[in-house]
């Protein structure tokens, strides 16, 4: 086996290697080399006062008899939050053919060696930033970029090398869902529904609740076609955010907003729905499962302190 560096401009040749790894992960579909190229670039985020500059990104491949059997994508990030600047290293993605543990170890060792050369003392792998601020490939796992528990061989590799779980996200599905038009008990609340065109075949949808002119709740959704071109993805609506002001909670508004969004989405032609929440948000997990969702995947961010 050999370890080589790959020019970022050649990233499209990794599509087949990627496709062979994600077949069992919910909402991960095969991508063409062109879609891999288009969905690969890291974006710059500015929500919550968070700014990040990415540089020195590197692609590392492992070959056996000139065939790529795994790759790793690493980078350095200069972050600034609340006026504090930090330099961090992260493994954006790493995969290898199951059963080829040596390939995985070579890729991980080379990734750590590269990041150490910058004086990095902490590495995050499959990293999650903030809600809706993701750093993964656009087409991978709804762009969250976390490591799915379906990739057990990679999970084990990181654990054996001293990486610890540093956060996670639970994903839930409800295929062939059906909801009736919900009734809002409090007639003093105004509801606004907005459709927004995106990358998907069907539009994205946003539902807002207002009381006396002030926003008190929202349910934001988007087509899974927003992330990936696959035909199967176009019939799925992903609930990307559900929020109710603390003063209005426990009054049924959250349920109404969710069901209103799903009802409006169903009228647009969506047939299936997916949703996610923090892996330790048990309240949300209970809430969503009460309304037909069931758990399909848990994914994780990892962290390791290096010397």
- Average pLDDT value for residue range 188-193: 95
- pLDDT, tens digit (0-9, with 9 covering 90-100), for 225-259: 999 999 999 999 999 999 999 888 888 999 999 99
Q: Report the b/e string of 84-115 with b at 16+ CB within 10 A.
A: eeeebbbbbbbbbbeebeebbbbbbebbbebb
Categorize the per-residue pLDDT at 129 as very low, low, confident or very high, splitting at 50, 70 and 90.
low
Secondary structure (DSSP) of 8-29: GGGGGGGHHHHHHH-TTSTT--
pLDDT of residue 131: 42
Q: Please check the confidence at residue 144 and state whether its pLDDT lies above 50.
A: yes
pLDDT of residue 81: 62
Q: Are 2-170+300-305 and 189-270 equal in CATH topology?
A: yes
Q: Which CB contacts under 8 angstroms, 24+ apart, belong to 4-11?
A: 4/60, 4/61, 4/63, 5/58, 5/59, 5/60, 5/61, 6/59, 6/60, 6/61, 6/71, 7/59, 8/57, 8/59, 10/59, 11/36, 11/37, 11/40, 11/59
12: its two tokens: 């499209």
136: its two tokens: 């993964």
Boundaries of every domain in the chain: 2-170+300-305, 189-270
In the chain, % of residues over pLDDT 70: 92
Sign of CA dihedral 104, 110, 113, 117: negative
Computed over every residue of the chain, the mean pLDDT equals: 90
- Average pLDDT value for residue range 267-272: 98
- What is the topology classification, in CATH, of domain 2-170+300-305? Aminopeptidase (3.40.630)
Could you tell me where the DSSP H helices lie in 90-133? Answer: 101-116
Categorize the per-residue pLDDT at 78 as very low, low, confident or very high, splitting at 50, 70 and 90.
confident
According to CATH, the superfamily of the domain at 189-270 is Gcn5-related N-acetyltransferase (GNAT) (3.40.630.30)
- pLDDT, tens digit (0-9, with 9 covering 90-100), for 150-171: 999 999 999 999 999 999 999 9
């Amino acid at each position: 086996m050999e370890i080589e560096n790959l020019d970022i401009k050649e990233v499209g040749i990794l599509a087949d290697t990627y496709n062979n790894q994600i077949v069992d992960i919910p909402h991960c579909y095969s991508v063409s080399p062109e879609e891999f190229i288009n969905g690969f670039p890291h974006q710059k985020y500015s929500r919550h006062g968070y700014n990040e500059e990415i540089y020195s990104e590197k692609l590392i491949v492992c070959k056996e008899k000139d065939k790529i059997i795994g790759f790793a994508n690493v980078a350095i990030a200069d972050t600034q939050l609340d006026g504090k600047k930090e330099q961090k290293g992260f493994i954006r993605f790493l995969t290898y053919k199951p059963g080829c543990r040596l390939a995985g170890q070579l890729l991980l060792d080379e990734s750590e060696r590269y990041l150490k050369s910058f004086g990095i003392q902490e590495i995050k792998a499959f990293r999650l930033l903030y809600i809706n601020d993701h750093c993964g490939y656009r087409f991978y796992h709804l762009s969250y970029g976390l490591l799915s528990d379906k990739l057990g061989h990679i999970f084990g590799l990181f654990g054996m090398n001293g990486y610890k779980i540093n956060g996670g996200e639970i994903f839930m599905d409800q295929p062939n869902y059906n909801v009736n038009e919900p009734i809002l008990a409090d007639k003093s609340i105004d509801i606004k529904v907005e459709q927004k065109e995106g990358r998907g075949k069907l539009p994205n949808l946003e539902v807002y609740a207002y009381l006396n002119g002030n926003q008190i709740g929202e349910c934001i959704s988007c087509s899974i076609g927003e992330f990936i071109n696959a035909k199967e993805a176009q019939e799925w609506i992903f609930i990307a955010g559900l929020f109710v002001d603390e003063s209005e909670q426990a009054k049924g508004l959250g349920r109404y907003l969710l069901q209103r969004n799903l009802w409006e989405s169903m009228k647009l032609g969506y047939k299936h729905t997916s949703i996610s929440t923090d892996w330790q948000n048990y309240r949300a997990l209970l809430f969503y499962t009460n309304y037909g969702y069931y758990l399909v995947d848990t994914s994780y961010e990892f962290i390791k302190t290096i010397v």
